[in-house]
Amino acid sequence: MEIITLIENEVAEGNVGLKAEAGLSLFIKSNGLNILFDTGSSGAFADNALKLGVDLSSVDFVVISHAHFDHTGGLARFFAVNKTAKVYIRQQATGRYYYKLAFLKKEIGVDQKLLKEYADRFVFVQDDVQINEDIKIVTHFSTKHKLPSDSKHLVTKKENKLVPDDFAHEQMLVINEGDNVYCFTGCSHHGILNMVESVQLNEDNRLNVIGGFHMYNPITKGLSEKKEDVFETAGLFAENKQLDQIVTGHCTGKGAYRLLKGVLGDKLAGLHTGSRISI
């Protein structure tokens, strides 16, 4: 398993000339396949791919973690360079999604024009999907643990009214390779503990988790979660004997990363633009 971070909020040390943005895009090489997981906020991920020696035309398929623009904003650029790969996205991603804070309302969903223009490229996922014997998409998650608290600002339009987002547009990519299971999540709006638990219930192999945990407040630039909740997550991760490696970034945030790292040590690593990880 090789993971190349095409874009993330910060550039990895030594990767001069690469662009960073508030978004996430990962190029995954596994089981003889090239997989793109999310496309960042813009086409910048594709510029970085060129500099990193990643040929986006070789991508076999794309998985979109959820409908927000910081994961879907580069789709138009991807379609321009890859003419065949299917894009797995939840059926609910066709909805309208917003970030709402006081009188501010910003639309943050998928570009609706792309959904129509490239309708033949999208595979709209309505339930768990087994792509092949080693790769699946998981859509159902446990509700045992807390959801990220910043979710209260995320809403969707239903019957011409704004209502709390239930994140039915979110999914997780799960890859089996050898004795390991790799769980890829974009922002973990269902709660990273719930999402990991949902996969673990059906797997006996070692678990590895890669993605964002939604612990960052983009307004204050600090923690969106209480410190004790971050420590609780870290503690449960540390106690989980099946969990091998955790790689996180994007919406996890620096503050939460430091708290997690203090508990998890070498079990935790960071995602940054340009990083190449073999796990």
Report the share of the chain in percent with pLDDT over 70.
100
Integer-rounded Cα radius of gyration of the chain: 17
pLDDT averaged over every residue in the chain: 96
pLDDT digit string, tens, across residues 230-244: 999 999 999 999 999
Q: Which range (26-30, 139-143, 204-208) has the least confidence?
A: 204-208
For the chain, what are the domain ranges? 2-278
pTM above 0.75, yes or no: yes
- Say yes or no to pLDDT of 87 above 90: yes
- Say yes or no to pLDDT of 104 above 90: no
Dist CA 74 CA 44 (whole Å): 7
Which CATH class, in words, describes the domain spanning 2-278? alpha beta
Read off the pLDDT of each residue in 190-206 and give the average, rounded to a whole number: 92
